[in-house]
Amino acid sequence: MIRFSLRCTADHAFESWYRSGEAFDALKAAGHVTCPVCGSAEVEKALMAPAVRPARRAEVAARPSLQEPASELEAALAELRRQVEANSEYVGMNFAAEARAIHAGDAPERAIYGETRAEEAKKLIEEGVPVAPLPFLPARKAN
């Protein structure tokens, strides 16, 4: 397959894939290559740069580090996660029951985080239990 950059006489630019250069020529000659904007069949190949795959070393060097945050937002989320994990107790799938027990005074008051179904989280909120969703998965579920 080959991708061609194309342009119609109305100067609309677009791209399309073809099996080969000969296939493009045959489809164009039959009037089957048209501009998706104006419908003109007067379409020509535009100047395009070839898609050259970089050398393996350059490709490895160009990859972003998955260990470091890629943006300020990612850095802020990583810091939030670090703070939550450092200053609260992970209670796993027992989150809803533990949050209710703390709210009712049946368990010692402390900061917790964990997992629960959306319906259960909604019930906690309706019951007045102060909970909030976290924008990350617990470490045990991270890939």
Across the range 72-98, mean pLDDT stands at: 92
Share of the chain above pLDDT 70, in %: 85
Q: pLDDT tens digits for 87-140? A: 999 999 999 999 999 999 999 999 999 999 999 999 999 999 999 998 888 776
pLDDT at 59: 59
Is the C-alpha dihedral spanning 28, 34, 40, 45 positive or negative? negative
pLDDT tens-digit profile of 53-68?
Answer: 776 666 566 666 677 7
Predicted pLDDT of residue 85: 92
Contact status, residue 48 vs residue 4, Cβ threshold 8 Å: yes
Question: Which one, of 23, 1, 16, 18, lies nearest residue 46 by Cα?
Answer: 16
Give the global pTM: 0.51
